Amino acid sequence: MNQLDALKQFTTVVADTGDFLQIAQFKPRDATTNPSLILKAVQRPEYAPLLAQTLARYGQRPLDEVMDHLLVRFGCEILTHIPGRVSTEVDARLSFDTSATVARAQRIIELYQAEGVHIDRVLIKIASTWEGIQAAAQLERQGIHTNLTLLFSFCQAVACGQAKVQLISPFVGRIYDWYKKQAGAQWDEAAMAGANDPGVRSVRRIYQHYRQHGVATEVMGASFRNLGQITALAGCDLLTIAPELLAQLAASDAPLARSLSADGAQAEVSPPLSHTEAEFRYALNDDAMATEKLAEGIRAFAVDTFKLEAMMKA
């Protein structure tokens, strides 16, 4: 049994890509997208027709509406290759506007429904700002399920649990990147690998807290840099993995054991937590890594959205 098949025994495997032609070979249950992945895809010849067709049909409409049609077109194509859900992201430039995020999410769902896609097959991705989390809480009450992304801190996870969001995507690789950069020449790769990786530790803490306190929100580790980060989180509810790393897992027959379990989470006692808005903002501000990476992630997704819009205008 290769490592990919072994991982599927413990964890739901999700493909992190806009390249739906690659998806079928790995047989993931779900798939996730973001503006950067869609931008990368539409620059390839095999996907350029999707952009051209979307523009031909909707190009006279407002740019933000054309963008949503393009995202939904990719999402619908992805859903033909997987049995589960696709995550589609709200414009990162709305990350600090609760009402605008809710309205955009509702429109994306309406576009999917117009294509015959059931609401339960779509997760709306929203940045884990305070405003984004409040938008997700409203959407969940309407039956629209959400995936809270750009999650780097424990306080973000606590607030998402309070909001009863469907799923969170704590980022492993970007946390690792930050701590490695901070350490500079003092970084010891071997000592900080596997279970000691700071990104892995972050996800383990969130997973254990949720399971211990009966939080139903699904935990999906994201943003991986290497196989060690993935295998150290075997047993997490879901893991969203780029095609390159999925291929490496499929090519490896090294043993893979379960690292996380709900039973194991009960052994580590932590107090139940909740955050007011002020407490959340202070806790996030007190975490330099999370503050920097959240802001950086929003900026990066916004830049790629601008690039997509520029392609549409051209």
Neighbours of 126 (CB within 10 A): 31
Q: Are 10 and 232 in contact (CB under 8 A)?
A: no
Cα(14)–Cα(293) distance, integer angstroms: 23
What tokens appear for 120 in the block? 């339960």
| Helices and strands in the chain, H and E counts | 15, 8
Question: Is-contact 212 162, C-beta < 8 A?
Answer: no
Number of neighbours of residue 94 by Cβ within 10 angstroms: 24
Rounded CA separation 136/126 (Å) = 7
Catalytic residue among 8, 27, 40, 125: 125
Task: Please give the C-alpha separations between residue 305 and each of 34, 40, 71, 87, 123, in angstroms, as whole numbers.
Answer: 9, 11, 11, 16, 19
Give yes or no: 40 in active site. Answer: no
- Residues serving a catalytic function are 125
